[in-house]
Amino acid sequence: MSEQRCRDLRVEHERRPLAVASPEPRFSWVADHAQTAYRIEVVDRAGITVWDTGRVPDGAGALIPYAGRPLRPLEDYTWRVTSWSAYGELREESHFGTAPDLSRWEAPWIEPAQSPTELERWSLMDWIRGSGPTTDPSERLRPVQLVRQRIALTEAPVRARLMVTARGVYSAWLGGERVGDEALAPGFDSYRHRMSVQTYDVTEHLQGGPTVLAIALADGWWAGRIGLTGSSAQFGDRTAVTWELHLTMPDGRTEIVRAGTGAISAEGPWTYADIFVGERYDARRAQQWTSTTFDDSGWAPVAVREGELSPLVAFSGEPVRRVMELPARSVTRTNDGVVVDFGQVIAGRVRLRIPALAPGCEITIEHTETLDAQGDWFVNISGINKEQTDVYVSDGRAVEWEPEFTFHGFRYARIRGLDALIADDVSAIVISSDLEYTGRFETSDPRLNRLHENVVWSQRGNFLSIPTDCPQRERAGWTGDMQVFVAAATNIARVTPFVTRWLENLRADQLPDGRVPIFSPRSAFDDEAITTASGFGSIVAAAGWSDAIAIVPWTLYERTGDVRILEDNYPAIQGWIAFQTATAAAEVPPALAGAELSAERRERQRLLYNTGEHFGDWLTPSTMEGKPTHEAIGIAPALTSELAAPMFQAHTLTLASRIAAVLGRANESQEYASRADEVRDAFAREYVGADASLPVELQGMYALALGLDMIPDHLRDAAAGRLVDLVHARGDHLDTGFLSMPYLLDALWDAGHRDLARAVLWQDRAPSWLYEVDRGATTIWETWDAVAADGSVREMSLNHYAFGCVDDFLVRRFAGVAPAAAGWRRARIAPDIEAPLDRVSAAVDTPFGEITSTWQRRGEVVDVEVVLPFGVEAELVLPDLTLTLHPGRNEVTAASSVRLTV
């Protein structure tokens, strides 16, 4: 390798984090040589070494836990790594800061004087009946509150850290300058259990002398409209903010200025702002309210609420930011406004250049993901509180404007009030958790490339503070969606801190009886909603959704080697297993209730978690055909839940067994493994026929049964044969729902039906991925026929990553890049050089650096090139050849028997 470096120094997966919460943060780096030993030194601000590992003879540079003197809160440290190989040493230095000690937080909550606007709340049943209020947004939403607090400083501090969190979402300014570059802070959390505190370095903001901290506070996820119903105030009906400013003065003294003393509030230019509905900015009401010299004499005192703190936690992971700006692709004038196409479905908002207009002129911006078949305006997500409409009221001046406290799911915007708008005046700002997107996948087939891009865009649109199902309708942290997608997500971006934070929420939301909720964050409103609802509305935990508690940590462990994720989640997994086990023992499926069962059958029924309301293999295509959506969505759950639930039960037991083994809990590992065997055995006796048939003849059931190892060995081929028949019966199309989708192509592949797996993938009629691509999709859709072949569009989400799980298959199979041991210590590179492609190239980030795999057809032969980082042991597996790879570039030319037919 050309330039050898020790690079990519990280603490807790992040580069130079400012506020690491863990008392034992882990250190990682990538060394471009065969490391034989390392040394880590950590030095505090005073230059005192608090940890020196000395020379450790170890090749690893991933997630080495801190073991020095206790790290002080809110401190800055420098760390150095020295990495030795047989040929010399590499050194590099980086920095990290530690989070504040939140147990010593003394600042109260500042509650601005809030307008008495009735917040609308309605139950799930009201929502299902469509009986929510239908008033104008100005009547049902309330103004953003502005808060100011003067800070008297006699001299400039040498170091300043501002910590803030809010019930609501906030933007802060100090000394007239915006603090940080986050959007929608503090982000979405299960606020009943955790309030995330952000830490900012504000040293540059403070020059000495009097200054002002100014905070704008909107309803956000706390009090605004969220979730399926769009009901408001699900966490609370009053917004509030709390903060502490810790200053280090030139003489070394620490001064702390807290929220409270002298804080005042007023309403400003945002007459309302809501994540779902949109926001209205009245520029006529705008003033220089963030500046120190602003006259705030008319502002009202705030309520100071002591001793009401929800548990504070230090925010970790990547905040939400404005991550990209997309130009307008086209601007079309219609009889009713100007329609702008940004060419890409995103989560974000529109930025506008607004000319001087008469004061009071209103500009409205509506958002949608698609137009209708005729190219006319069509809103694919509708319903009260889902308006996705922003309003700007001019004060007569020209301005560039973008909403502050909302985001929308859209590709098109319809803008009224700016008839002369041209493309240069408008752009789309992409909003997302600011993850590093590291993966690459490219082939000679532009349609596969677009499919991959669509998956990446659906990840970007839905990794927004929490992993959501869709960024326009529910925007909820659905567990099922995440568990099917997480493997693909790990190839595409560095997801560990983001997913870890969400898992913390999910665990906080787990019920005392072990149930893991179907989405997280979850509110008291959600708890209440289930008590009044029936059917789907009453579901708290569900097969394949709740199992995310085991599947997501295990997948992250496999892809990153992070054992702490397993440690942290293991008790929650045990809790969920305890619930499944107890339910299995207590209930039998309705069809067996009251029936005389043989002792043997009663015993096996006691082992199977096969009752209760679930989503089953949600959105299985054939079950939806020709029926209105509201009727169709219930069919797959009714057909498949009894089978799917025990399959995920067995899977979770197996994962628990593997996790226990990694954690050194051999007895528990053994225990879970034998319970998994018992469940599989009971399942086989109850549901698998002597001819390998299952009681439900759907592809998804066979794909799951094969993928989750539910079929006795001697029947596997026969079961695979049945799956093949079912696929043929659908004209070689997929017919799998949410839960089984990640297993279908692999089940075919592993059973030796690679051609069929490829055929299913390359289908271009619905249901298929390339059908969406051919119809111009720029993200992954919720349902395959969201846009029908005749162009007619349905009210479905066009930005749901769940079916994008196929991206993991593309990378693992076509480029052949897959871990063979946790954390990529070993890899197996088995590119599918028989695929009907001329070229495939992919890159996957690993803890040791990037692995790239490229193959290119050249007449009768295929050139394969794999670039491997140091630290990964890997084999290249080709049809007639297996060889050991070495670090750096490996090149092989293989014979190919392929005829390009597809």
- In whole angstroms, the minimum distance from the beta carbon of 536 to ligand BGC comes to 7
Closer residue to ligand BGC (CB): 133 or 535: 535
Does 481 engage in binding with ligand BGC (CB under 6 A)? yes
SS3 state of residue 100? coil
Quote the CA–CA distance of 187 and 143 in Å, as a whole number: 20
Residue with tokens 């490229």: 854
Alpha carbon distance, N-terminus to C-terminus of the chain: 38
Region binding ligand BGC by CB under 6 A among candidate stretches 327-335, 428-436, 473-481, 744-752: 473-481
Q: Let me know: does 41 contact 51? Beta carbons within 8 Å.
A: yes
Backbone angles phi, psi at 327, to 5 degrees: -75, 165
- In whole angstroms, the minimum distance from the beta carbon of 539 to ligand BGC comes to 8
If DSSP states are collapsed to H, E and C, what string results for 175-217?
CCEECCCCCCECCCCCCCCCEEEEEEECHHHCCCCCEEEEEEE
- In whole angstroms, the minimum distance from the beta carbon of 225 to ligand BGC comes to 16
Region binding ligand BGC by CB under 6 A among candidate stretches 43-51, 259-267, 348-356, 474-482: 474-482
Quote the CA–CA distance of 436 and 800 in Å, as a whole number: 20
- In whole angstroms, the minimum distance from the beta carbon of 800 to ligand BGC comes to 6
Closer residue to ligand BGC (CB): 239 or 652: 652
Closer residue to ligand BGC (CB): 263 or 381: 381
Measured at CB, which residue is nearest to ligand BGC? 469
- In whole angstroms, the minimum distance from the beta carbon of 190 to ligand BGC comes to 18
Does 470 engage in binding with ligand BGC (CB under 6 A)? yes
- In whole angstroms, the minimum distance from the beta carbon of 503 to ligand BGC comes to 17
Quote the CA–CA distance of 496 and 323 in Å, as a whole number: 19
Region binding ligand BGC by CB under 6 A among candidate stretches 265-273, 470-478, 499-507, 657-665: 470-478
In the numeric block, which tokens belong to residue 363?
């500009």
Question: Which residues inside 506-535 make contact with ligand BGC, applying CB under 6 A?
Answer: none
Closer residue to ligand BGC (CB): 481 or 504: 481
Q: For ligand BGC, which residue of 77, 222, 478, 803 counts as binding (CB under 6 A)?
A: 478
Q: Which among 260, 262, 257, 264 is positioned nearest to 301, based on CA atoms? A: 264
Closer residue to ligand BGC (CB): 390 or 481: 481
Quote the CA–CA distance of 772 and 774 in Å, as a whole number: 5
- In whole angstroms, the minimum distance from the beta carbon of 780 to ligand BGC comes to 11
Q: For ligand BGC, which residue of 14, 120, 434, 469 counts as binding (CB under 6 A)?
A: 469
Closer residue to ligand BGC (CB): 545 or 570: 545
**Angle subtended by helix axes 599-607 and 563-586, to nearest 10:** 150
- In whole angstroms, the minimum distance from the beta carbon of 527 to ligand BGC comes to 17
In the numeric block, which tokens belong to residue 248?
């280090």
Closer residue to ligand BGC (CB): 414 or 800: 800
SS3 state of residue 880? coil
Closer residue to ligand BGC (CB): 198 or 520: 520
- In whole angstroms, the minimum distance from the beta carbon of 797 to ligand BGC comes to 6
Closer residue to ligand BGC (CB): 622 or 797: 797
- In whole angstroms, the minimum distance from the beta carbon of 620 to ligand BGC comes to 12
Closer residue to ligand BGC (CB): 636 or 653: 636
Cα 533 to Cα 129, 303, 527, 540, distances in angstroms: 12, 37, 11, 11
In the numeric block, which tokens belong to residue 440?
């690459």
Closer residue to ligand BGC (CB): 404 or 772: 772
Quote the CA–CA distance of 760 and 647 in Å, as a whole number: 24
Does 480 engage in binding with ligand BGC (CB under 6 A)? yes
- Torsion angle (degrees, nearest 10) of CA 747, 750, 755, 757: 30
Closer residue to ligand BGC (CB): 334 or 382: 382
- In whole angstroms, the minimum distance from the beta carbon of 495 to ligand BGC comes to 19
Q: Let me know: does 127 contact 229? Beta carbons within 8 Å.
A: yes
* Interface with ligand BGC: number of residues (CB under 6 A): 9
- In whole angstroms, the minimum distance from the beta carbon of 892 to ligand BGC comes to 42
Q: Let me know: does 230 contact 103? Beta carbons within 8 Å.
A: no
Quote the CA–CA distance of 887 and 523 in Å, as a whole number: 50
Q: Running DSSP on this structure, what letter comes out for residue 224?
A: S
Quote the CA–CA distance of 347 and 344 in Å, as a whole number: 10
Does 683 engage in binding with ligand BGC (CB under 6 A)? no
If DSSP states are collapsed to H, E and C, what string results for 393-459?
ECCCCCEEECCCCCCEEEEEEEEECCCCCCHHHEEEEEEEECCCECCEEEECCHHHHHHHHHHHHHH
Q: Let me know: does 781 contact 772? Beta carbons within 8 Å.
A: yes
Greatest distance between any 2 Cα atoms in the chain: 85
- In whole angstroms, the minimum distance from the beta carbon of 584 to ligand BGC comes to 22
- Torsion angle (degrees, nearest 10) of CA 770, 459, 474, 761: 20
- In whole angstroms, the minimum distance from the beta carbon of 228 to ligand BGC comes to 6
Does 547 engage in binding with ligand BGC (CB under 6 A)? no
In the numeric block, which tokens belong to residue 333?
């004038």
Closer residue to ligand BGC (CB): 498 or 615: 615
- Tell me how long the chain is: 902
Backbone angles phi, psi at 716, to 5 degrees: -60, -45
Q: For ligand BGC, which residue of 244, 404, 445, 474 counts as binding (CB under 6 A)?
A: 474
Closer residue to ligand BGC (CB): 470 or 837: 470
Q: Running DSSP on this structure, what letter comes out for residue 787?
A: B
- In whole angstroms, the minimum distance from the beta carbon of 542 to ligand BGC comes to 8
- In whole angstroms, the minimum distance from the beta carbon of 535 to ligand BGC comes to 12
Rg (CA), the chain: 28
Region binding ligand BGC by CB under 6 A among candidate stretches 419-427, 478-486, 500-508, 842-850: 478-486
Does 576 engage in binding with ligand BGC (CB under 6 A)? no
Q: Which one-letter amino acid corresponds to residue 382?
A: S
- In whole angstroms, the minimum distance from the beta carbon of 551 to ligand BGC comes to 14
Question: Which residues inside 784-813 make contact with ligand BGC, applying CB under 6 A?
Answer: 800
Q: For ligand BGC, which residue of 221, 463, 502, 615 counts as binding (CB under 6 A)?
A: 615
Q: Running DSSP on this structure, what letter comes out for residue 711?
A: S
- In whole angstroms, the minimum distance from the beta carbon of 816 to ligand BGC comes to 30
Q: Which among 538, 528, 529, 479 is positioned nearest to 505, based on CA atoms? A: 479
Quote the CA–CA distance of 679 and 252 in Å, as a whole number: 64
Region binding ligand BGC by CB under 6 A among candidate stretches 61-69, 293-301, 472-480, 640-648: 472-480
Question: Which residues inside 618-647 make contact with ligand BGC, applying CB under 6 A?
Answer: 618
Backbone angles phi, psi at 805, to 5 degrees: -55, -20
Closer residue to ligand BGC (CB): 342 or 618: 618
Q: Let me know: does 566 contact 503? Beta carbons within 8 Å.
A: no
Closer residue to ligand BGC (CB): 477 or 831: 477
In the numeric block, which tokens belong to residue 310?
């929800």
In the numeric block, which tokens belong to residue 865?
């090139």
Region binding ligand BGC by CB under 6 A among candidate stretches 214-222, 468-476, 594-602, 822-830: 468-476
In the numeric block, which tokens belong to residue 144?
């953003």
Q: Running DSSP on this structure, what letter comes out for residue 307?
A: S
Closer residue to ligand BGC (CB): 114 or 231: 231
Classify the phi-psi angles of 100: left when phi > 0, otherwise alpha if psi is within -120 to 50, otherwise beta: beta
Closer residue to ligand BGC (CB): 613 or 845: 613
Q: Running DSSP on this structure, what letter comes out for residue 591?
A: G
Residue ranges in contact with ligand BGC by CB under 6 A: 469-470, 474, 478, 480-481, 615, 618, 800
